[in-house]
Amino acid sequence: MLSKKMEKAFNDQIKWEYFSAYLYLSLSAYFTNTGLPGFANWMDVQFQEEQFHARRMFDYVNEKGGRVTLQAIDAPQNTWKSPLAAFEFALNHEYAVTKRINDLMTLAQKENDHASAIFLQWFVSEQVEEEASFGDTVNKLKLVGDGGGLFLLDRELATRVFVQPTVA
């Protein structure tokens, strides 16, 4: 069983995960339109990752006998002034997600909900990877600037494929 507070917090986070997916799909469209298909591919993979995050929470709420209530998803931003600005925007979004996951964990601890705290542990670790992965590309973009390096980085990002994350 899930407390009403935890149920609401999970429902809010499911919306956030789907909003994240929507944002990365919007970034994919931006990169396609900018002539950077490798960057677009990277964001397409991230779109799939976020849907996986949302679905995990969706399944958990159901498994705990809670009630999933899907909420309206806001329209994401759809243009940025440069590839670097776009990736910095995404990295900042991930920082906000990390804060939300930490707040969820704190709530689970306050509610003495050990099962939810253990479940959320995976998301805490996942956010470390998420921040590192976005931060790595931000750093590379700062190094290459607007020159030919952008073309090489595009080829590198084209190789990313979606691998369903391992769940302990």
CA distance 17 to 31: 21
- Give the residue, chosen from 2, 7, 11, 17, that forms a contact with ligand FEO under the rule CB under 6 A: 17
- Say what the alpha-carbon torsion angle 37, 40, 46, 52 is, to the nearest 10 degrees: -90
Under the criterion CB under 6 A, does residue 94 sit at the interface with ligand FEO?
yes
Report if residue 20 touches ligand FEO, rule: CB under 6 A. Answer: yes
Residue 86: φ, ψ to 5°: -65, -45
- Say how many CA atoms lie within 13 Å of 94 toward its Cβ: 24
The rounded distance, in Å, linking the Cα atoms of 2 and 113 is: 8
Should residue 50 be labelled a site residue for ligand FEO when binding is judged by CB under 6 A? yes
CB of 48 to ligand FEO, least distance (A): 11
Site for ligand FEO in 95-154 (CB under 6 A): 97, 130
Instruction: Give the residue closest to ligand FEO by C-beta.
Output: 53
- Cβ closest to ligand FEO, residue 129 vs residue 146: 129
Q: Which residues bind ligand FEO (CB under 6 A)?
A: 17, 20, 50, 53, 94, 97, 130
